[in-house]
Chain A
Amino acid sequence: MSKIGEVVQRARAAFNLGKTRPLQFRIQQLEALRRMIKEHEKDIAGALTADLHRNEWNAYYEEVVYVLEEIEHVIKKLPEWAADEPAEKTPQTQQDECYIHSEPLGVVLIIGTWNCPFTVTVQPMVGAIAAGNAVVIKPSELSENMANLLATVIPQYLDRDLYPVINGGISETTEVLKERFDHILYTGNTAVGKIIMMAAAKHLTPVTLELGGKNPCYVDKDCDLDVACRRIAWGKFMNSGQTCVAPDYILCDPSIQNQIVEKLKKSLKEFYGEDAKKSRDYGRIINSRHFQRVMGLMEGQKVAYGGTGDAATRYIAPTILTDVDPQSQVMQEEIFGPVMPIVCVRSLEEAIQFINQREKPLALYVFSLNDKVIKKMISETSSGGVTANDVVVHNSVHSLPYGGVGNSGMGSYHGKKSFETFSHRRSCLVRPLLNDESLKARYPPSLAKMTRH
């Protein structure tokens, strides 16, 4: 058996021993995870700096804080979530116990990605551990420093058999996917999502796929453009645009395009200064391949701001493109970079049509002071999630499930939804084994007539 196979078998054997069943054990592991994060804050920030040119602030604010909050929330709520949930009885089952019993699935595989390499790997772990599973973690090899850090520190704090970290590239991932898991949560792109689901199908393993898409951002004429543009600039250009819920492109009326450009520029200068390259807060593209890809998307476009890059440091300036042609390359793929195309539409209806002609995105954004506009946009489109009058933040409300639909994914997690995703909710009916008189009526041969009233 391969080394990876052995690791997975060990996790399964440890699960089968029943170690993870008591809530106390799970809470201890979560507390250990919390300690790990607090004691290695600097290392986590350091890994993010090395991988993505993040700094201490945004390491915390955009990653660590989410996970710590999740742990806090889950520890507090676990006893409630894990308790049997009574179900409404029928007249025939009044004397019985009817409830839904939550159980762990077994061995869960979490495959992380590189853009928020800490959060997307560790936050799902929290739910999987809370639900009582063994968890095999496969961080993305592209965010190498984080992958190495996780492989080093996780075993120092958590049970080594139950929560192994497996590192490696495509061939290791392929090896891992040959093993049988009881649930796979994958964060990444659509193409690989299909491969994962195909592999899962062989074992009838349920999957949660957190994929991507082009998240539209509709800016209505009736809105506070200052606020809107500041929020959009914040969400778009954080992590140098490499956020799966970042607004991918703007849809607006041509009459406000120039204002939007000016206000975006203003916010960008406030955030990152005249030269974002010098800003400690502005990120870098993960690798050369993506750098080339994103630079390529700007070709032939009208650049209103930015448009430059430096291959040596993988820096791409915050860039705004105007009057973008919907057929052009930048509108064909998820940008995942600091390039904001603006596509003009003449009405809300046209915007809605534009959005609906495309694959369902992970997130959808609409800025308007008019509630009717917001309502219409939401009710006539579909997406994983929506934020109105802001971007990104629906992600942070742990009572809201985080997930996609259609090409942007299936299933969801965060907070209680994580617990549910990683549990089996088992229907239970427990009757007394009384004498059968009361039930005799149901047995054949059937002579009794039904009484109706």
Chain B
Amino acid sequence: MDPFADTLRRLREAFSAGRTRPSEFRAAQLRGLGRFLQEHKQLLQEALAQDLHKQEHSQPTPASGPLHMLCTLPGRFCLQSAFESEVSEISITQSEINLALRNLRAWMKDEKVPKNLATQLDSAFIRKEPFGLVLVIAPWNYPVNLTLVPLVGALAAGNCVVLKPSEFSRSTEKVLAEVLPRYLDQSCFAVVLGGPQEMGQLLEHKFDYIFFTGSPWVGRIVMSAAAKHLTPVTLELGGKNPCYVDDDCDPQTVANRLAWFRYFNTGQTCVAPDYVLCSPDTQERLLPALQSAITRFYGEDPRSSPNLGRIISDKHFQRLRGLLGCGRVAIGGQSDESERYIAPTVLVDVEETEPVMQEEIFGPILPIVNVRSLDEAIDFINRREKPLALYAFSNSKQVVKRVLAQTSSGSFCGNDGFMHLTLASLPFGGVGASGMGSYHGKFSFDTFSHHRACLLRCPRMEKIYSIRYPPYSPRKLRVLLMAMEARGCSCTLL
């Protein structure tokens, strides 16, 4: 029994009928999505609280999203408040909706391109068209943001969309499955649920685009399944995001930033700094600074802090607890299985071969690895898979720029954590094992669109083009060769 065949057929028919093409339709979908967010904000916040064990919104938490410095809404200036941060998974999505609504017509317009000499009389442009039926597969760690922001792009680009939220963020999944469809045209949109088995069945079907956020392991499975249908993909994966801390820095400033971005959402962020590379001297200065930051952020007893969340599942908790045995615990190290609580932890004396340095941590544990020089740090980074994000802290811009120039990663931030995510003008995506493709802002629209090259030729002017027709003669060849030698002249005399 194929549980998805009917749904997919219905969506394909709607797409073929052209329902999603007009900008009015797409704008209406986006506005519907916006209304969903506004009208069910509380419901979503409660779901997020349940899924990621963040506290109820009466108790402020920083939990739901990384981006509460965001505030790209015009005229608003936000100071960090726990309440606001709780809402930021929602407000980043709202910002993307607003951006798409404001720019939809401009993005949809045919993009004129420069012409060469031979095509001066013609019209040359790139037309943005929807692919058709798009599948968005979302993870559990930012279940609102990472499900809905891709959805914004897919809808804006005029596709029919199947959304597959993560089964691990159960409460959010429920809200998305039961409430969201009421706000969108259900002939063009569906939410499908299930675990690995259902996902396998779903992936046997043909989609015209697949957008996946999750682990590299599953990313490979998704791409292999996509290959059977020649479906293009964007894969937002993960990795171990290195954080180089130079000797020339103020340890407390660095520690504040490091701690904040590491322990945000209990470390369950694909772009969180995963490990630190620094000299033993800098480590000595960083440790007390980190302790100070942690205490300031989460109090003497982080376990009772309303600002610290919990691990998503027993499986991940066990995995993380295992990592606590690596190296030596310098800060934190406590855990409680009944609550899936892990204290904000810093590990030192860590070997490269230990598990904590072999897998993406995705938890509130920060190992520090010692290097003796910037060169050694860069070598260390380059021996590994290209990460999703890379960080470098230094007072010296040269040092920061050197790390940037001599490494590769999805994105890079000098002297801060994943702030770059707050700019819709920067594409967000990985490279190598951390992924392929990107999105956010206009990049979302472009990702979910086929860029069709169009050339509208003048049906006249046949004489000019006649040089291209056989029979060919040495004279014609000479004319062509002369044209090729001439500067600034297009050789493709058509």
Contact = CB atoms under 8 A, between A and B. Distances in A.
- Residue picked from A98, A407, A409, most chain B C-beta under 10 Å: A98
B260 interface: yes
Interface string A242-254: 0000000000000
Nearest to A385: B453
A378 B127 contact: yes
Q: How large is the interface on A (under 10, 10 to 19, 20 to 34, 35 or more residues)?
A: 35 or more
A443 B294 CA distance: 10
A299 B306 CA distance: 78
B307 A431 contact: no
A288 interface: no
B233 to A, nearest CB: 9
Interface stretch (A171-179, A199-207, A323-331, A342-350): A199-207
A374 B110 CA distance: 15
Interface residues of B, number: 121
Contacts of B175: none
Contact of A394 (B216, B252, B455): B455
A389 B235 CA distance: 39
B3 interface: no
A384 B126 CA distance: 11
Nearest to B406: A18
B104 interface: no
A87 B473 CA distance: 52
B482 interface: no
A433 interface: yes
B423 A445 contact: no
Given A66-B492, A198-B227, A411-B232, A445 B82 contact: yes
Contact of B459 (A227, A378, A396): A227
A397 to B, nearest CB: 5
B404 A386 contact: no
Contact of A279 (B79, B432, B453, B470): B470
Contact of B452 (A57, A281, A383): A383
Contacts of A431: 413-416, 419
A263 interface: no
B422 A92 contact: yes
Contacts of A430: 397, 400-401, 404, 413-415
Interface string A421-453: 000111111111111100111111111111111
Contacts, number: 333
Nearest to B119: A397
Contacts of A313: none
A362 B410 CA distance: 31
Contacts of A393: 119, 455, 457, 494
- Residue picked from A61, A202, A369, most chain B C-beta under 10 Å: A61
B53 interface: no
B415 A204 contact: no
Given A435-B250, A451-B77, A390 B260 contact: no
A18 to B, nearest CB: 8
B415 A435 contact: no
B426 A204 contact: no
A88 B459 CA distance: 42
Given A69-B491, A280-B471, A433-B254, A201 B297 contact: no
B71 A101 contact: no
Given A271-B470, A427-B427, A431-B419, A451 B227 contact: no
A163 interface: no
B82 A444 contact: yes
Contacts of A270: 469
Interface stretch (A23-31, A120-128, A149-157, A398-406): A398-406
Contacts of A439: 69, 256-257
Nearest to A89: B423
A257 interface: no
Given A394-B453, A450-B78, A427 B411 contact: yes
B199 interface: no
A50 interface: no
Contact of B455 (A88, A92, A387, A424): A387
Given A428-B413, A429-B426, A103 B408 contact: yes
Nearest to A228: B459
A285 interface: no
A367 to B, nearest CB: 8
A100 B455 contact: no
B385 to A, nearest CB: 9
Given A401-B126, A424-B408, A436-B253, A449 B79 contact: yes
A90 B451 CA distance: 28
A201 B224 contact: yes
A248 B80 CA distance: 61
Contacts of A382: 129, 450, 452
B305 interface: yes
A138 B59 CA distance: 62
Interface stretch (A1-9, A140-148, A189-197, A304-312): A189-197
A282 B129 CA distance: 37
Contact of A433 (B118, B228, B415): B415
B414 A204 contact: no
B432 A204 contact: yes
A424 B431 CA distance: 7
Nearest to B264: A444
25 contacts: A57-B477, A61-B468, A90-B71, A98-B426, A182-B432, A190-B230, A197-B226, A204-B219, A204-B220, A204-B432, A234-B470, A271-B471, A380-B18, A385-B452, A393-B119, A397-B453, A399-B116, A412-B451, A428-B412, A430-B400, A433-B249, A441-B80, A444-B260, A445-B60, A446-B81
Given A91-B71, A206-B436, 17 more contacts: A58-B472, A88-B425, A91-B72, A91-B77, A194-B230, A209-B230, A267-B469, A271-B469, A356-B16, A386-B452, A387-B454, A388-B455, A393-B119, A430-B413, A439-B69, A443-B260, A444-B62
